[in-house]
A and B are shown apart, each in its own frame.
Chain A
C-alpha cells in the first residue's frame, strides 16, 4: 500500500532501520559463508582474518576510516540528487574530475603557503566534480538527455582526461613505467591524525553528510527539492524553479564526489595517479541506495561496505581468492534488501 510505505519511510526510527539492515547483513554473511564453503575455503577463518585485519586493531580501524572517506562523499553525491528523483550514477567520473582539478591547482601554484593552497585546492576539487555533474544536469533540465545515461557515460570520459594529463603535460620525470604526476609539495598534503592515514578528508566527509541532512530537512531549499522529488508536476505548477534545481542538485552532488577525489590525491596518494579509485563512486551509489538516502543509514552502510571491500583485499592475501568474490557478498546484500521491499504496484 502506497500510504504505509510513505509512513514507513518517514516514521521508522533510525535505530530500527539500523537493526533491520544489520539483520540483513547477518543473513548475507551466512549465505556468503556457504559460497566460501563450496569454494573449498574455511569461512570462519576468512571472517576471522577479515575481523583481525579491520576491526580488531587500531590500525585496521584507522584504515577503515580512510576507506570510508570517499565512500561517504560519493554516497552523498548520489543521495542528494536522488531526493529530487534524479539518478546520479556518475560519482566515479565526478570523483576523477575533482581529483584532476585539485591537482591542476596544486601543480599550478606549488609555492603557495599551506593555509591558502589547501582550501584553494579543496575548492577546486569540489568545482571539478560539480562542473562535471552540471553537464548531465543541464542536459536533463533542457529535456535533452536522461541524467542516468549522461552521468554513466561521463564515467568513461573522466579517466581518459586523467590519462591524458599524466601521460602528457603532468607526467613526472623518471616514472616511465608507471605514469603519474609529480609528488605534491608538503603544503598540498592534507593533515593526518594520530599517526595514521586518516586525513582531513574524513572530517570533510562527516561535514558533508551533516550538510546534506541540514540542507534537505531544515532549509527552505530542502522543501523545494523534496517537493520536486515527491511530485515534479505540482512543484512546477507551484512555481518552484525545477530546471534550476535539477542542475544545482546534480552539481552539489558532483561537488561532493569531487571532494572525494581531492581527498584521495591530497590525503592518500599525494599525487595524481590512474589507479585513483577502485570504484568508490559505484560503491557510493550502492551505499546511498541501500540506505534509502538516510544520513545515518549512509554512515552505517559506508562503514559496512568499507569492511566488505577490505575483506576483498584480505581474502586475496590470506586465502588466495580473487578480489571479485566480495562482489558476490555485495550482490547478496543487495538482493536481500530488494527482497525485503514490498513489491511496487498493487491495487492503487
Chain B
C-alpha cells in the first residue's frame, strides 16, 4: 500500500439544495491504515459529503479519485463495487432473518444457490480477526444495538469494502460499546482499511483519529495531523473563537432550590413488557419542581418504557402515577401534554416529527389548542412564539418551508427541542436529549435544562452518558432490568459503583 497516493480522494465537491449550500469546494483524502475523523457543527455538511462519497447523492461539481484514478458513482451500487462501504445510523437489516442470511443478502457476487455455512464460517473468521464477534445463526431481531452495528460492519467487510464510512456510529452506543468500536477501528487500521469517522464527541476523536478534518458551513475549515489536535483547538475551529465566550462553566456549583412539591410521582408503578420491551417493576420515583433527576442504565434497561409510562403512552398494571398532586394514572398523552409535560426524544424523526410535513407544520404538532384560531391554525402567532423559543435556546431559526426530513440530524433535534420547550413545561422528560448534537448545541441543551430547572420545572434526564449525568443530575437513579436499583443525591455517588449497578453486578443501593 502506497501511503502517498490516498485510497480515496475527493476534490472540490460542491452540493447545493436550493438556497442551502451543503458542501462547497470540499477536499478530503482518505488513506489506507488511517482513521480520518470528520468534525463540524450541526448542518456543517458532513452527512452530505459522506453521501456523495457513497454515491447516494450526486454532487453539483467536484471529482472523486480512487487510488489516483477518477471515478464517478451514479449510485451506491457502483460505490460498493469499488470498495466503498457505509454504515448507516438506522441499520438496514431484516429483523426476521439470521445474521448470516442478512449478510449473504448483501453480497453482490453470491451465486443463486449458496452455502449459508460458508458465509457463517467467513463471518466467524472476520469476526475474530477484527473483534466483531457475533453468532451467525442468531436472529437479527434479538441483537442489541452494538451487535447490529457489528453485523453492518461485517456486511461491508465480506463485501470487500476498503473504505468504510461511519456517520455518527457512536450516537446510539453505550460507552462500553463505543470503546469496543474503537478497538475494531484499530484492528481495521492495522490491515490497511481507510476509515471515515463522523462524530460530535471530541473525546472520541482525540482517542482514535489519526487525522482530523473540520467542516463549517459546508466548507473545510482546517485539519490536524496525528497528535496535533486539542479540545480547545478543535472547538475554536468548529465554531470560531467568539462562540466560546458564552459557555457556562460545567463545574459551577448548582444547588437545587428547596422545594417539597413533587411534580411527578410514581408509586409502585409497574407495567408489562411485550416483545422486545422491558417490563417495569414496582418503580417508586419522585421528581420535585426545580430538580433534575438523572436516570442511568445500559441500553434496554427500561429507559424508553419509563419515559413512555410517564408520558401516558403505556398503561400501568399496578401502582399509580401522580402529576402535580393529582392522580394521573389513567391520563391520556394529550392530557399529560396539556398539563405541561414536554418530551425531548432520542430519535426525533421517529418519535416526534413527521418528515414529509414542513418544519412549520411540525412546530404546531402536539401543542394542543394553543394556536387554534377557529378551525385553522394561527401560523403567525405560532411562528412568533417558536421564534422566541429558538432565540431563548440560542438556536438559529431554521427555514420553515422545507420538509422536516430534509434537515440535518442535529437541526431536526433542535427544532423538536424548541417546540417542546416553548411553553414553560412543568415536567420535561428528556430521553438522550443531546444525542447527535454538536458540542455547542449540547452545551446549550444542558444549559437549557438547567435553566428550566431553575425556573421550577421538574426534569427527568435519561442518558447513557455518565459524564452528562454527573454534570447535570441533582439526584441520580440507576435503572437495571426495569427496576430502580440505586438512588443517590448529588455528589454522593462513585462512577465505579454506578457502573456496577448499571450492569447488575452489585445489589441495590440507596445512598
Contact = CB atoms under 8 A, between A and B. Distances in A.
A239 B88 contact: no
A166 interface: no
A10 to B, nearest CB: 7
Given A239-B332, A239-B366, A231 B76 contact: no
B345 interface: yes
A144 interface: no
B313 A236 contact: yes
Given A1-B56, A219-B376, A223-B364, A231 B355 contact: yes
Nearest to A215: B375
Q: Most A CB atoms within 10 A — which of B332, B343, B353, B357?
A: B357
Task: Give chain A's interface secondary structure class.
Answer: helix
A218 B311 contact: no
A218 B361 CA distance: 11
B400 interface: no
Contacts of A227: 354, 357, 361, 365
A340 interface: no
A42 interface: no
Given A223-B364, A239-B333, A218 B357 contact: no
A2 interface: yes
B56 A241 contact: no
A3 B76 contact: no
A108 interface: no
Contacts of A219: 375-376
A72 B228 CA distance: 69
Given A6-B403, A223-B364, A230 B356 contact: yes
Nearest to B353: A234
Interface in A216-235: 218-221, 223, 226-227, 230-231, 233-235
Interface string B352-383: 11111100010011101001100111000000
B365 A347 contact: no
Contact of A238 (B352, B355, B405, B406): B352
B36 interface: no
A226 B375 contact: no
B20 interface: no
For chain B, give the interface size range: 35 or more
Nearest to A231: B354
A6 B92 CA distance: 21
A237 B368 contact: no
Nearest to B311: A237
Contacts of B19: none
B334 interface: yes
Interface residues of A, number: 27
A116 interface: no
A6 B375 contact: no
A7 B361 CA distance: 15
B351 A233 contact: yes
Contacts of B113: none
A242 to B, nearest CB: 10
A239 B406 contact: no
A16 interface: no
Contact of B365 (A1, A10, A223, A241): A223
A234 B333 contact: no
Contacts of A241: 332, 334
Contacts of B207: none
B334 A235 contact: no
A1 B375 CA distance: 35
B108 interface: no
B46 interface: no
B88 A348 contact: yes
Contact of A239 (B75, B334, B405): B334
B405 A237 contact: no
B337 interface: yes
Contacts of B245: none
23 contacts: A3-B405, A6-B406, A9-B356, A218-B376, A223-B377, A226-B361, A230-B354, A230-B355, A231-B353, A231-B355, A234-B351, A234-B354, A235-B354, A237-B313, A237-B343, A237-B351, A237-B366, A239-B333, A239-B336, A239-B337, A240-B334, A347-B54, A348-B56
Given A226-B356, A234-B351, 14 more contacts: A9-B356, A219-B375, A220-B372, A220-B377, A223-B357, A223-B361, A223-B365, A226-B354, A227-B357, A230-B354, A230-B355, A239-B368, A240-B334, A348-B90
Interface of B: 54, 56-57, 75-76, 88, 90, 92, 311, 313, 332-338, 343, 345, 350-357, 361, 364-366, 368, 371-372, 375-377, 403, 405-406
Minimum-distance CB pairs A-B, first 8: A238-B366, A239-B334, A230-B354, A239-B333, A347-B76, A231-B354, A230-B356, A239-B337
